[in-house]
Structure 1
């Protein structure tokens, strides 16, 4: 019979000794919640007092923002999706979120890789999620390991 009691001391990180990547799975699931909220708003608009804060790494590969914003926010930026934004799009296949915002009266489209996002919040209901910045999908998929390093040197056995 399984033991359903929690025997952790309370100061350990979850999961402490797992051989399964639960932390990555949870991060992906929470990112999915954020993407579902953004997709909903892209179709239906914001309802009531809902609004979103989206924090992302500006120096993450694939982030496409105007150079003046990158100069002003060289590492991290938080945008607010509330009253004046347009063309909010979630492209799950490409792993990006794009949105139009005005900065100093100049309209700009921002393209943000999902893995560059480190925070999402809807302050109207005191809901927030924090993420670890992930590896860019292209880099993670393009890692190739040569099997030559594991092959035996010399003549092959008969």
Structure 2
């Protein structure tokens, strides 16, 4: 059996690297101009760290905004930690890159969406994307994800 090129995994790593590079720059120099990020992530990912009340409130996925009110952005090769304000309460979160489902910078109409192969298989039967994200998976590596550009219409202000 011949060895193939796994473009999906290569794209996945490249897009995670892009997010890492962007966040490293923001941690060092701050957000330039009107740039800001909507980051949706899987709250059930084993390496996500967030307050119990947030994981109870968002049991499947959560979208955070990195814009005006964030502190202590700490970027690592595997993810990032940031303190965000929820109301007037600051909360520290750790978001591994493998938990990210979408990364959007609406100021420049840039976005990435990471889908699992289970989502793609579901899409063959039902063109409507699932609301709850991927289900549980067996295996050591968890769900394999590919990257693709996300439509920004969902994030536009009307």
Please give the TM-score of this superposition, normalised by the length of structure 2. Answer: 0.70
Evaluate the alpha carbon distance shift between residue 64 and residue 133 of structure 1 in structure 2; reply closer, same or farther with a 3 A threshold.
farther
The structural deviation recorded for 1:44 is 0.4
Q: What is the CA–CA distance in structure 1 between the aligned matches of 2:80 and 2:86, rounded to whole Å?
A: 18
Structure 2 counterpart of 1:63 = 48
Structure 2: runs of 5 or more not aligned: 118-139, 142-158
Evaluate the alpha carbon distance shift between residue 76 and residue 46 of structure 1 in structure 2; reply closer, same or farther with a 3 A threshold.
same
Correspondence for 1:90 among 62, 66, 75: 75
Is 1:46 the equivalent of 2:34? Answer: no
The equivalences for 1:27-42 within 5 A come to 27-42=12-27
**Contact 1:116-1:133 at 8 Å conserved across structures:** no
The structural deviation recorded for 1:59 is 0.6
Higher relative contact order (Cα pairs below 8 Å, separated by 6+ residues): 2
Rg bigger for which structure?
1
Q: What is the CA–CA distance in structure 2 between the aligned matches of 1:34 and 1:52, rounded to whole Å?
A: 10
**Contact 1:54-1:78 at 8 Å conserved across structures:** yes
Please give the TM-score of this superposition, normalised by the length of structure 1. Answer: 0.70
Size of the aligned set, in residue pairs, is 117
Structure 1: runs of 5 or more not aligned: 1-17, 141-158
**Contact 1:115-1:133 at 8 Å conserved across structures:** no
Is 1:21 the equivalent of 2:6? Answer: yes
